[in-house]
Structure 1
């Protein structure tokens, strides 16, 4: 009887150790993008993404709290994430605080259904000219061709992931900063879910059936 108890205890301890090892391993696959998006933060994030992808194909989580930053650095990070997603590695991006400007674009790189935000987080999108460091299209006249290309790329990313028509994205961000709290960002299509918010109830069968014709 003692041998059985000792064996069960050993198995229980081993099981607990396995759970703790898995939790620690999962935490090691978290990346934190905090502060401005620039060449240093983008490079560090991209290098870490590649390290984790080479280590295993298990999911990766990126936490973001950023007011934005450099356009090309942000697009480089966006593309690096999309490459992993395209190769079958699930990448979750969680807004913890804010994802403004280029931060909102990086957010769109997450796997389908994996753009998340904490309840008191905020997302902001605006005219791409401002992300390039210029205050208006007029001030960027000498860079007009490149500006138009960047505008097109960023607008397309936002439209494709939000499901909003391209013209609406342009209208909402024209010469203004468009701020959304977590719930409004979800309704707008910039995130998929608010963490801690209960899932919507599944409709009853009767609710799904069309009403009968009344003579």
Structure 2
């Protein structure tokens, strides 16, 4: 069976994006992606405090990897503008809200997915109980962050994320998740 490999962009495209202060998160949020994205954020922030534009198209992934990118965006002095494209789900949505609402953009056909953290564990009853407590702790933290980012109550976030909670671009904007729906890059200041 042939495996799909991640397309490799010509070096000139990556160089051009970097020089334009553009970072792209495409695909699963992994520990490997953290190194790439955080490295790019730190490098660009060390060059100047001009805005960085981060495009997100992601089905989500590892929650702690999402936390790392979220924290790195908030750590640097350079302004980061986030643009949701395609779908912005789970850990991708968490990264998306790392910036103020006025810096959160999405394209018209973007879909968002919020849900509670997922996990699975094998082991002794004690180990399973510890992991369950950790998932509850992470869920409370995510609910608090999404509540602050959207203006929704923690209770509403908790209720909405009991199951998969899908939002169109328009619904995401009304919910307070997306700041602006844009159709052209010139609309991003």
Per the normalisation by structure 1, the TM-score is: 0.72
Q: Does the CA-based 8 Å contact 1:115-1:193 persist in structure 2? A: yes
Q: 1:194 aligns with which of 171, 181, 186?
A: 181
1:143 aligned onto 2:131: yes
Q: Does the CA-based 8 Å contact 1:91-1:111 persist in structure 2? A: no
Q: Does the CA-based 8 Å contact 1:90-1:111 persist in structure 2? A: no
Q: Which runs of structure 1 show a deviation greater than 2 angstroms over 4 or more consecutive aligned residues?
A: 24-28
1:111-152 CA-partner distances (Å, limit 9, x unpaired): 440111000010000012x1xx339xxxx5341232222111
- RMSD of the TM alignment (CA)? 2.2
Paired residue secondary structure (1:113): helix
Distance 2:171 2:108 in 1: 11
1:67 aligned onto 2:67: no
Larger Rg: 1
- Give the equivalent residue in structure 2 for 1:178: 165
Question: How much does 1:25 deviate?
Answer: 8.3
Paired residue secondary structure (1:106): helix
Unaligned runs of 5+ in 1: 1-23, 198-215
Q: 1:28 aligns with which of 20, 24, 37?
A: 20
Paired residue secondary structure (2:60): coil
- Give the equivalent residue in structure 2 for 1:154: 142
- Give the equivalent residue in structure 2 for 1:124: 113
Question: How much does 1:110 deviate?
Answer: 1.9
- Give the equivalent residue in structure 2 for 1:5: none
Q: 2:47 aligns with which of 55, 75, 78?
A: 55
Paired residue secondary structure (2:102): coil
Per the normalisation by structure 2, the TM-score is: 0.81
Question: How much does 1:153 deviate?
Answer: 1.3
Paired residues in the alignment total: 165
1:134-186 CA-partner distances (Å, limit 9, x unpaired): 39xxxx53412322221111111100000000000000111x10000101000
Paired residue secondary structure (2:158): helix
Unaligned runs of 5+ in 2: 1-15, 122-127, 185-189
